[in-house]
Amino acid sequence: MPRDLLEDLGLKRDPRFVEVATDTPAGVREIGGRRVIVSENPASGRAIGAVTLDDAAALERETVGAVESFKLWREVPAPERGQVVRAIGEEFRRFKEPLGELVSLEMGKIRAEGLGEVQETVDIADFAVGLSRQLPGQVFPSERRGHRLMEQWLPLGPVGVITAFNFPNAVWGWNAMLAAVCGDSVVWKPSLLTPLISLATHRIAERVAEAMGHKGIFRLVIGTDDEVGERLISDRRYPLISATGSCRMGQRVGQVVAGRLGRSLLELGGNNAVIVHADADLNLAVPSIVFGSVGTAGQRCTTTRRLIAHESVVDGLVDRLVAAYGQVLNRIGDPLKEGTLVGPLIDDRAVKAFDRAVRTAREQGGKVLIGGGVMGDRGGHFVQPTIVRVPANNRLDIASEETFAPILYVFACKSIDEAISLQNSVDQGLSSAIFTESIRVSERFLSPSGSGSDCGIANVNAGTSGAEIGGAFGGEKDTGGGRESGSDSWKAYMRRQTCTVNFAGRFELAQGIRFE
């Protein structure tokens, strides 16, 4: 560790933090009579620290507190709520460097990406501050004389937020900053793979809100799925559960929440494709594909997992990608070290999933062009970014599965229609991209009839990764259909109320009904 990030962020003074020896195995452990989750540095496999686990009783306390906090918070004018969020954003700006470095240390993404993740939380706070002075309703013409018909948006209630390990700060920010200006309290259940950044993130928001007289808006429950997660999603006191993670997890959350007629906002997996048309600018396409496929070691839900290139350019494109990957392979290592381009996978299970996928690809007829190996001599959870050429018949079943690792499957196609069909053939529908100089081809991809990309995100001459906070983020099909972050995603955190005001001083019914 280049410096004591835990001390810089005040984690060592938090009663939930537990010091552990660096050779302590990661996972749930009993230490000093406390049940804790031990966090490790995936670049070294060494323990960083531990956090006390919450149980069902702790969740109940936080839920009761969130309900009471909501009753007070919703009475605060929205612009004043925005000022609290503004102050939180400023504090994240102040702690951007140590927070971003802790993301790199605990999650494994390179330092630039760690800092960029914290910047996302700062940006969504800025967005939410402006939103706090809008939250618009509409006024409609009434068919009755002397009547006004309008709608207003009201605070929803305590929101349960479940996040994944790969964006342990930003995804909380997307949800919490919007929910807060909408008048909701937030109870956060983070991934057990990144408890330290979650605790540090929560401490900042909690401290700022409490100093401004609004204690308990933000709450944190670090617990197992069995003891905390299942109770959280089944609790009727949470009108909304926002869950980010795997498709399997989202299916469970969606079913349970729907069973109690609650709302769920699901942002799940992606098996994202880049289409490269015959006329594409390869100087633009190549770096976009490389970052999309190897950035965050392939552990983004927007990672480029499939490349669908026109048969006239696929060979030359692959040659350039293999050359670029050759440079990347020499810059795998400590994510906090200057010059590193690719860090580790999150844990040993992820390494095994990578290895299994590469072996399966070979068995199914795929040809590994570069990479494919597990770098077991590094001490952490490192693998080689990998390119697999799909057989000429475009059949490779493993390519239809989302492996959370840096594996890129390359398909060849004859036409834009074939390319779009291949892209849309998987279960997920998160992010998509096309590289072309033709307006006709790009418009076919973005077809307003819906016959083009079936994903929630569709980019032209830009890769699948790197979304900005101004646009709503999420996807279709098994990706869950939810939308987080910008645009009008704030509506998920509020309830709509249609209002009629009769100022005519006489009784009148709609549809011409007379009742006299």
Phi, psi of 410 (to 5 degrees): -110, 120
- Among residues 62, 106, 206, 267, which one is catalytic? 267
Q: Which of 182, 247, 301, 413 is catalytic?
A: 301
Task: Please report the DSSP string for 60-72 in residue order.
Answer: HHHHHHHHHHHHH
Which residues does residue 151 pair with via DSSP β-bridges, in sequence order? 498
How many residues are listed for the chain in this entry? 516
Whole-angstrom CA distances from 279 to 190, 418, 435, 440, 451 are 44, 16, 8, 12, 21
Query: Residue holding tokens 């976009």?
Result: 288
Question: What pairs with residue 429 in β-bridges?
Answer: 476
Cα 169 to Cα 161: distance, rounded to the nearest angstrom: 12
Place of tokens 């509506």: 491
Q: How far apart are CA 206 and CA 220, in angstroms?
A: 9
Q: Is 267 a catalytic residue?
A: yes
The closest of 116, 216, 130, 97 to 170, measured between CA atoms, is 116
Instruction: Write b or e for each residue in 429-439: b if 16 or more Cβ atoms lie within 10 A of its Cβ, otherwise e.
Output: bbbbbbbbeee
Residue whose tokens read 């199914």: 364
Q: Could you say which DSSP state residue 482 is in?
A: -
- Burial of 373: CB neighbours in 10 Å, binned 0-12, 13-18, 19+: middle
Report whether 252 contacts 268 (CB < 8 A): no
Q: What are phi and psi of 110, to 5 degrees?
A: -65, 160
Alpha carbon dihedral 238, 233, 108, 20, in 10-degree steps, equals: 100
The answer to whether residues 53 and 37 touch, using CB atoms and an 8 Å cutoff, is yes
The DSSP bridge partners found for residue 17 are: 51
User: Residue 226 gets which letter from DSSP?
Assistant: I
Are the C-beta atoms of 225 and 477 separated by less than 8 Å?
no
Q: How many CA atoms lie within 13 A of 249 on its CB side?
A: 20
Question: Which DSSP letter does residue 119 get?
Answer: H
Respond yes or no: is residue 301 known to be catalytic: yes
Calpha distance 126→415 (Å, rounded): 43
CA distance 132 to 183: 10
412, 315 contact by CB (below 8 A): no
The helix (run of H) or strand (run of E) holding residue 512 is: none
Q: Read off the amino acid at residue 213.
A: G
Q: Are residues 417 and 430 in contact, defined by beta-carbon separation less than 8 angstroms?
A: no
Task: Give the residue numbers marked as catalytic.
Answer: 267, 301
